[in-house]
Structure 1
């Protein structure tokens, strides 16, 4: 088995550059960015470290190979030629899932069946068996076709990386943890700056900010499917987890506040903050956005207000955005960052954003409106 592996960190559209930066910050180079994915070369230890540390990626996949295929024969032969038995143990479960976009081979069930058959044939040769029981660790294979280019990968993550383990309970339209972390990173928030989310809902933005602020690895309190793989020793996982504890800055003080008009969702936010073990770092309070005020001269507002996507909500949301404009602009030395799908946001808010970025919240196309306030003066040390 080779010491070097190719890994793919998958990303929501618009977040690829942030995921790539996170990968580089972990010390991995040879990073290639494409739509929806970041590919890089690393060692087996990287499977542990990237799963534990990546805040904005969806999952980490092990790349087995890629090639062009326009016929089922080609797909079969080229898949069979890959070194499956070097990665997948004899007793493993290896189901195949797939997707096909703009490719000659558009039938996903057929592609899945052919890849499964090719992997079995490849492994039969190595293990000298005719049949695999598939009762051991899970190696979920994905065959992805894009414009006839086939990429074959194995999932190392299990449930997506947005499942940090702290949010069993959610409000009606929760913001994914990975996107919340991206909004904070894009705002260039620094842990010594006050952060307020006046629409905090079940607490995702304040909780993710607390994890970032104390450099707590987002995957620290959950398990990953590759922890059962014989390819990666238990010691490797232990070492990677020990590193998360060594690098956490638990004594760093933070000023993070979340407010919401709905006491019911705030209860969820408090439970979630407790589960994430950041309840002492995040101040959550019931308060309408109209009453937002602070004595702090500088800070950042980061929020995900209602979008008015549902029938009958548009007028209410229009009113809310006008009110936000009045309330936020009173904090004229603050910066504010607002994500919404509403096409008229700037007009209603009454001010053009300093910068706008296209993102996706689930399947909803959104813009991230960034309003930059003046820089706080450097403190005299």
Structure 2
């Protein structure tokens, strides 16, 4: 059984959540860095990580890691890697993306060009050809430079893992599926507790929560680039892992997940998204103002992405909006409230400092995840 070094990028600051997920899948983590977790696994691990991980952005197969401060050094060290072990003679390969941070080599276009040329030179010698048809499976390459250290990888996922396949249209200021899942997993919420998102938009928080409650693997209804890498992964492995994930689903589980929005049109989108995700029967959608937020049950969770007021005319409405959240918190005094927002005066208008506060980038927007955990429910008598 051959072991690969696998790299799972994630949102900065949420590495611990992804680390827990990888441990739960049974794989050994070798390193945790800013924005990524590195672990070891076999061919099946590539399938399982892509299908099961909720918070990873993609799964990369590490080809090599080394230091380079000149383009000549970069070329020679990339060429020295055993590319024939990964890319077959008919493989279509290109450098999909290169990034460089605090490195002497900073031109990403030059990095891409030189890495591609080095791989071509290596494979020309190995396969004894002067031209590659590149009409077989795709092998996209991603290269990362950080402080002159180069990490060269193959992208097993293809389209980013946040694209589960259920969201075709987004509302305003959408939150990605992977970020929504990670934020929910940062809280103590479990499927048996009530869950409300009063600013549901396209429904991402509620849908991710329902998928967790029903044990639906996030990658079950999409495809991955590495499915065609039959030189490395037997196709049957993908079928076996998908079958296992399908058998774990329990949409009959009893949940209380509610999603509200004041915009009726955006609710239509949310309902369609939930239907595509297979959880429409688990979520109660309703057109409702946050000022009417209430619930008959105790010890529930509000996890939400309220408006940020990115446009000037919207900022004026934010004070009263966050004051409405304050009112809801006083009505639901046994509930836990978790909000991600870029609104700097959120705590002032809520009238209460968050117990915990994490800085997280939602795309290019600097946001804060304000955490107001409520009291723990009394233990059930045996």
TM-score class, shorter-chain normalisation, is: over 0.9
1:58 is displaced (CA, Å) by: 0.6
Structure 1 residues 175-200: Cα deviation after superposition (integer angstroms, max 9, x where no partner) = 10111111111112111100000001
Q: Who is 1:126 aligned against?
A: 126
Contact preservation (8 Å) 2:59, 2:156: yes
Contact preservation (8 Å) 2:261, 2:289: yes
Contact preservation (8 Å) 1:166, 1:275: yes
Q: Who is 2:313 aligned against?
A: 312
CA–CA separation in structure 2 for the residues paired with 1:99 and 1:285: 43
CA–CA separation in structure 1 for the residues paired with 2:240 and 2:110: 41
CA–CA separation in structure 2 for the residues paired with 1:181 and 1:165: 15
CA–CA separation in structure 2 for the residues paired with 1:207 and 1:282: 8
Match runs of 1:197-346 below 5 Å:
197-230=197-230, 231-346=232-347
CA–CA separation in structure 2 for the residues paired with 1:15 and 1:134: 38
CA–CA separation in structure 2 for the residues paired with 1:291 and 1:134: 59
Q: Does 1:372 align with 2:373?
A: yes
CA–CA separation in structure 1 for the residues paired with 2:109 and 2:370: 41
CA–CA separation in structure 2 for the residues paired with 1:31 and 1:347: 42
CA–CA separation in structure 2 for the residues paired with 1:290 and 1:161: 35
Q: Who is 1:98 aligned against?
A: 98
Secondary structure of 2:285's counterpart equals strand
CA–CA separation in structure 1 for the residues paired with 2:143 and 2:334: 50
Contact preservation (8 Å) 1:48, 1:236: yes
1:172 is displaced (CA, Å) by: 2.7
Q: Who is 2:149 aligned against?
A: 149
Runs (5+) with no aligned partner, structure 2:
none
Q: Does 1:55 align with 2:67?
A: no
Give the length in aligned residue pairs. Answer: 380
Contact preservation (8 Å) 1:336, 1:372: yes
CA–CA separation in structure 2 for the residues paired with 1:16 and 1:75: 29
Q: Who is 1:12 aligned against?
A: 11
Q: 4+ residue stretches of structure 1 with deviation over 6 A?
A: none
Contact preservation (8 Å) 2:124, 2:130: yes
Q: Who is 1:74 aligned against?
A: 73
Q: Who is 1:186 aligned against?
A: 186
Secondary structure of 2:139's counterpart equals coil
Secondary structure of 1:104's counterpart equals coil
1:42 is displaced (CA, Å) by: 0.8
Q: Who is 2:110 aligned against?
A: 110
> What TM-score, normalized to structure 2?
0.97
Contact preservation (8 Å) 2:251, 2:279: no
1:57 is displaced (CA, Å) by: 1.0
CA–CA separation in structure 2 for the residues paired with 1:298 and 1:71: 58
CA–CA separation in structure 1 for the residues paired with 2:16 and 2:93: 31
CA–CA separation in structure 2 for the residues paired with 1:173 and 1:338: 14
> What TM-score, normalized to structure 1?
0.98
CA–CA separation in structure 2 for the residues paired with 1:32 and 1:143: 18
1:34 is displaced (CA, Å) by: 0.3
